Amino acid sequence: MKIKEQNVLDRPREKAMVYGLGRLDNRELLCLLLGSGTKNCSVESLAGQVLDKTDHLRGLFSIEPEELMEIEGIGQARALMLCAAMELAKRALEARTISSPILGPDDVKLWFQATYGTQAQEHFAVLYLDVKNRLIRHRDLFVGTIDQSLIHPREIFREACLVSASSILLVHNHPSDDPVPSPADLETTRNIESAAQIHRIHLVDHIIVGQSSCFSFRRSGLLEESV
């Protein structure tokens, strides 16, 4: 059944206005974003194909416009609109996160999962925090397989000194969605923790994220208490 043939309050737009966006299912939300179908394909069918293409939204944060344009009926404009919506969602999570003190994994988990958990390659990043645990700088330091020989504490703490950071928080992702730290992750963290103690900079945590999972070194007892 096409949208125009539905009961008024069953149509995504009208349903959202009366009951709120939270009452719409994933297909209906995509229908709102897509707007309309094509001559040969209803908007519901297009939405269903987007769901299939993104593994029922699991891959929507990381999908490229060119991949969406492989769906007949989705051109450049619609593909960019969907990707722009995802980018805005990531930025909204970041804006909400950095507006408050960052004390542990619960304060950054959603932002990190949206930003890094969907990446196909490993990313290693550092948050530099002031004495009140507010973000001073967010820096991506490395992309690729994490190796302790490539991530040198010197680079991390040079930046920390430049911005007068009181503490740092490390994050990297596992594209496999398994956040359990590898031997290289453990060695890298030990090296950085030792350097943090020398510089008297608090290592808040090292968080590993996947698309649907998260591991905290601090909560797992793998970090020493700060001096």
Does residue 140 sit in helix, strand or coil?
Answer: strand
Residue 41 dihedral angles phi and psi, to the nearest 5°:
-150, 125
CB atoms near residue 20 (< 10 Å): 9
The answer to whether 116 touches 125, Cβ cutoff 8 Å, is: yes
Q: pLDDT value at position 156?
A: 95
Q: How far apart are CA 111 and CA 115, in angstroms?
A: 6
**Which amino acid appears at position 184 of this protein?**
A
Q: pLDDT value at position 130?
A: 97
Cα angle: 63, vertex 68, 70; to 5 degrees: 130
pLDDT digits (tens, 9 = 90+) for 47-93: 999 999 999 999 999 999 999 999 999 999 999 999 999 999 999 99
The answer to whether the pTM exceeds 0.95 is: no
CB atoms near residue 63 (< 10 Å): 19
Rounded (10°) CA dihedral 108, 202, 226, 208:
40
